[in-house]
Amino acid sequence: MEVDSIGIASDHAGFFLKEKIKKLLAGKVEIKDYGCTNSESVDYPNFCQTLALDISKRKTQAGIAVCGTGFGMSIVANKFSGVRAYCPWDEYTCKMGRLHNDANVLCLGARTLNHDRALDLVNLWLSTSFDQSNEKHLRRLDKITQIEKQTLKSH
């Protein structure tokens, strides 16, 4: 994926993995941290919403969102037009989400993934490009955009 900057967000469950991901990416891409700022209990929608809104408005190019399972973050992120969030659990699913779905938000479960494995998934997500050469994938993403227009998604 060709990005200069990415946004990152977590709730309390994802806080420590978020900090590890920031260390991993330091010096490679610009990172905008959308919180949270410590491991005290918070509500994941608050932190994912600001990240997803910026991606939807194209103020941020792509994002990583970490919670206990990744599910809450992906549910919130996918409410926003232009956001394609997913929760890969291994190398294959991570790669396919980029190749076929152009997934621009990587959601990770800090309680469900080994953290070293999660860091490997971050590298794989960032280094895998959408397969633009295949017309059928472009057509399917266009259909998602049409669905977004028909429904009342934000932005």
- Any idea which residue has 């939807």 for tokens? 56
Residue 71 CB, shortest distance to ligand RB5, in Å, is 4
Ramachandran region of residue 67, left (φ > 0), alpha (ψ -120 to 50) or beta?
Answer: beta
Closer CB to ligand RB5, 56 or 69, in the complex: 69
Would you call 149 exposed, middle or buried from its count of C-beta atoms within 10 A (0-12, 13-18, 19+)? exposed
| 67 annotated active-site | yes
Closer Cβ to ligand RB5, 74 or 81, answer by number: 74
100 carries an active-site annotation: yes
State the residues that interact with ligand RB5 by CB under 6 A.
Answer: 11, 13, 44, 67-69, 71-72
* Tally: H helices and E strands in the chain: 6, 5
> Which residue in the list 12, 36, 48, 67 is annotated as catalytic?
67
Instruction: Tell me the two tokens of residue 85.
Output: 């969030």
Taking the least distance from each CB to ligand RB5, the nearer of 34 and 44 is 44
- Residue 104 CB, nearest approach to ligand RB5 (Å): 19
Q: How many CA atoms lie within 13 A of 128 on its CB side?
A: 22
Residue 119 CB, nearest distance to ligand RB5 (Å)?
A: 19
Placement of tokens 């932190």 in the chain: 47
Kindly list the catalytic residues: 67, 100
